[in-house]
């Protein structure tokens, strides 16, 4: 089979929000790039993911001028709630930090980036099969793939892996130069998406004796709810009515009184893990997003952490191609990881606070109660939570 070759400055593997954001930022700086995605556009848009955006993510969309729909449809949230039994502790992030978060589904943000690709000159190749990275330690790395029976080769100066936890990019980094940090949790989140109004205008994270629950939303008429379940649970054992019943118990009477039930349009169980891969750069390969780290969804850091990676990567690559600043690329991993670890800490600590772990006993539960009591009565504690939730500076 003959091989077609394309040449570019940056080859981005993965066309999720991280890959598309980076591609648009580089094109805005006049840097040539090609984005490769193994799935179809419909499949990418069908992935139900995050919905709470920090300022770093909103700011990148504003910078690109792709925020018109986000501004029109995004919901500004000035706070969120921690629930423990019948108590609701509101964290007023606007008062405590002077900032806010925006509720806008990852699917919608991805759609905005997709729709702008052609007019912005961003080349995205979907359904690129058998993607493989080569010679990333050299100054002439390249990526091969197959599409429609034709072999392709993309020669680049830099390759960026935005291809998620299961993608090929991270795997080309030798084990001898890498270190992995991982914490797997003994439960998963069962999520249900339904076209019903939310039970509260702000998110509620609930710690109940029966387990964790989260009430969130994607819009004024679309709600996303979660409960934690053992990893042994099967989706077919959780019909919609059982999920709604459990949510009503765990979220408490005030929230339960405002729950509108409806048929699920998506339902899934996702395992939880904390994971960091270091370094996030090897030779002329950079990693962004889930390719390098995973956070439990508690705290809504996944997409936003990918966006901060993209912010650092775009700065480093712009400096490299405009000023031949190799030190900027060399420093990317340290800059990104400094923020990654802070986000990992916050997501881990909020997960630990709001979930009942199987191995926990009366002492651990008493510690949760004491921590929630402290948060409820301390502006300093609430400020710390609010600063992390709304997003630390990049």
Asked if 185 is an active-site residue, the reply is no
Task: Round to whole Å and give the CA distance between 23 and 63.
Answer: 13
* Catalytic choice (77, 152, 293, 355): 77
Q: How confident is the model at residue 51, as a pLDDT?
A: 84
The Cα 123–Cα 105 span in angstroms is 24
77 is known as an active-site residue: yes
Catalytic residue among 24, 208, 293, 301: 301
| Catalytic (active site) residue 389 | yes
- The DSSP code sequence of 38-63 is SS-HHHHHH-----EE-HHHHHHHHH
What is the three-class DSSP state of 17? helix
Q: Which two tokens stand for residue 74?
A: 């995004």
CA distance 342 to 170: 22
| 362 token code pair | 């009366």
Range list for CATH 3.50.50.60 in the chain: 3-76+102-181+274-350
Q: What is the pLDDT of residue 1?
A: 56
Q: Give the pLDDT confidence score for residue 48 in this predicted structure.
A: 67
Among 297, 311, 332, 355, the one annotated catalytic:
297
CATH no., domain 185-272+356-390? 3.30.9.10
Question: CATH for 3-76+102-181+274-350?
Answer: 3.50.50.60
41 noted as active-site residue: no
Catalytic residue among 104, 312, 332, 389: 389
Q: What is the mean pLDDT of each run of 10 residues along the chain (394 residues)?
A: 87 97 98 97 83 94 97 95 89 97 93 96 97 97 96 98 97 96 96 95 95 93 95 95 97 93 95 97 98 94 96 98 96 98 97 96 95 97 97 93
Q: 205, 225, 312, 332: which one is catalytic?
A: 205
Contact 156, 143 (CB under 8 A): yes
The yes-or-no answer on residue 297 being catalytic is: yes
Element spanning 198, H or E: none
Considering the chain, tell me which residue range(s) the CATH 3.30.9.10 domain(s) occupy.
185-272+356-390
């Amino acid at each position: 089979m003959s091989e077609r070759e394309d040449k570019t400055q940056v080859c981005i593997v993965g066309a999720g929000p991280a890959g598309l954001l980076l591609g648009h930022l580089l094109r805005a700086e006049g840097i040539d790039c090609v984005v490769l995605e193994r799935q179809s556009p419909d499949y990418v848009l069908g992935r139900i993911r995050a919905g709470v955006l920090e300022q770093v993510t909103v700011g990148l969309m504003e910078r690109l001028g792709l925020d018109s729909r986000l501004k029109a449809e995004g919901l500004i949230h000035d706070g969120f709630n921690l629930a423990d039994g019948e108590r609701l502790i509101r964290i007023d992030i606007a008062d405590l930090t002077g900032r806010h978060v925006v509720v806008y589904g990852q699917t919608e943000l991805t759609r905005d980036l997709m729709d702008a690709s052609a007019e912005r000159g961003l080349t995205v190749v979907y359904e690129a099969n058998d993607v493989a990275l080569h010679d990333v330690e050299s100054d002439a790395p390249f990526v091969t793939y197959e599409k429609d029976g034709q072999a392709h080769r993309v020669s680049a100066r830099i390759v960026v892996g935005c291809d998620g936890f299961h993608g090929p990019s991270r795997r080309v980094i030798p084990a001898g130069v890498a270190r992995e940090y991982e914490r797997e949790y003994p439960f998963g989140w069962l999520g249900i998406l339904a076209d019903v109004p939310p039970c509260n205008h702000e998110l509620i994270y609930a710690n109940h004796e029966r387990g964790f629950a989260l009430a969130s939303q994607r819009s004024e008429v679309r709600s996303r709810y979660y409960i934690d379940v053992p990893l042994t649970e099967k989706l077919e054992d959780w019909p919609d009515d059982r999920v709604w019943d459990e949510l009503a118990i765990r979220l408490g009477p005030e929230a339960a009184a405002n729950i509108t039930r409806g048929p699920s349009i998506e339902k899934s169980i996702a395992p939880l893990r904390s994971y960091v891969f270091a370094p996030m750069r090897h030779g002329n390969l950079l990693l962004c997003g889930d390719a390098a780290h995973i956070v439990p969804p508690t705290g809504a850091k996944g997409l936003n952490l990918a966006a901060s990676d993209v912010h650092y990567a775009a700065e480093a690559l712009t400096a490299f191609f405009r000023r031949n600043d190799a030190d900027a690329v060399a420093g990317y991993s340290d800059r990104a990881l400094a923020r990654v670890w802070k986000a990992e800490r916050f997501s881990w600590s909020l997960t630990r606070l709001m979930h009942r772990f199987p191995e926990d006993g009366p002492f651990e539960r008493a510690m949760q109660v004491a921590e929630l009591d402290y948060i409820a009565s301390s502006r300093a504690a609430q400020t710390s939570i609010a600063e992390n939730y709304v997003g630390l500076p990049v």
